[in-house]
Chain A
């Protein structure tokens, strides 16, 4: 579900602060640029507050953020709810021993890595990214956490592109977003 339907009064400013950049990274794609949201301290704070209000007191001990824009939203949420922050990264960035999950792109494959030992079995986790499109990256993230025995409570994104059906790809895992872009 998204906060869109019974719209919290903070959502409107968040939505209007997101800049849409046509034809990036390639023709036909309307890129959702959250950097303009980060330039509005109140809208950025409200974005974090909306997530924190939802997740504090829910016994979540892990916030996993997907490189790189998940690193912007994940840590403030983690700090506010008292959870650890676990970066999920592109290959060869994490220096210690890692486990990896491969996932498909439009053309070819990519890989997401997590440090061994970052997360323990039985921990309750959130996965955070700025946006869900096809859901491929979020699925890879969930798989990494579940493989080490964590429970993924929910995926949380600022933006959803519902036409790309990422929500369905999450296989029943709940998804919470603030803004939809059609």
Chain B
């Protein structure tokens, strides 16, 4: 969890590098745009370092990143901690045999897929995305990994939107975030 007191000094720059865009993708939604964080080389470096410091030496062999912004943060973490990177994708993108998990959206449902054989039973995994909102996507990713016998150690996001209560939706699964966007 992000700490308010004694907050790591790197966090404030990371938080202020994130651009907020009102009414995207639709009226009333305030979108947290991490592309501006990626333009600040120090903030991007610090973001990755904060995750790597937390997870190296924890015997994590899998970093699963949720398409598409999880593909930006997951691989640098995986490379630094010596884990494999597993992309969790929208339907029909992965070319080999897949397992699928359906999850609800505000209106309707979507499907997340993972390649068969990417992970093995008993492996220890992280799930990475840029942001947690309702937690639906992260839950789908957790389920996919657990269905094949993987232990999901933690979910890690740059940003949390606490009002949407995603943390509660993860149940007993721990969540680590860098920035709380209240």
A residues with a Cβ closer than 8 A to B are 19, 21, 24-25, 31, 33, 35, 38-41, 44-45, 48, 67-69, 71-73, 75-76, 78-79, 82-87, 89, 92-96, 115, 118
Contacts and interface: CB of A to CB of B under 8 A. Distances in A.
Given A71-B71, A75-B73, A85-B44, 7 more contacts: A44-B75, A68-B67, A85-B72, A86-B35, A86-B39, A89-B68, A118-B39
A24 B95 contact: yes
A44 B21 contact: no
B2 interface: no
Decide if the interface of chain A is mainly helix, strand, loop or mixed: mixed
Contacts of B39: 84-86, 118
B48 interface: yes
B76 A76 contact: yes
B164 to A, nearest CB: 18
Interface string B89-104: 1001111100000000
11 contacts: A35-B86, A38-B84, A38-B86, A45-B79, A71-B69, A83-B41, A84-B38, A95-B31, A95-B33, A96-B35, A118-B35
Nearest to B84: A39
B78 interface: yes
Interface size class of B (residues with CB under 8 A): 35 or more
Contacts of A31: 95
A15 to B, nearest CB: 17
B83 interface: yes
List the 3 closest pairs (A to B, CB-CB), nearest first: A71-B71, A21-B95, A24-B95
Interface of B: 19, 21, 24-25, 31, 33, 35, 38-41, 44-45, 48, 67-69, 71-73, 75-76, 78-79, 82-87, 89, 92-96, 115, 118
Given A79-B44, A95-B24, A115 B94 contact: no
A118 B73 CA distance: 18
Contacts of A67: 68
A38 B85 contact: yes
Contacts of B45: 79
A40 B38 contact: no
Nearest to A63: B38
A41 B83 contact: yes
B21 A25 contact: no
A85 to B, nearest CB: 4
A16 B94 CA distance: 19
B84 A94 contact: no
A95 B21 CA distance: 7
B28 to A, nearest CB: 14
A51 to B, nearest CB: 12
A48 B154 CA distance: 26
Contacts of B48: 79
Contacts of B41: 78-79, 82-84
A71 B130 CA distance: 13
B79 A76 contact: yes
Nearest to A97: B21
A68 B68 contact: yes
Contacts of A82: 41
B96 to A, nearest CB: 6
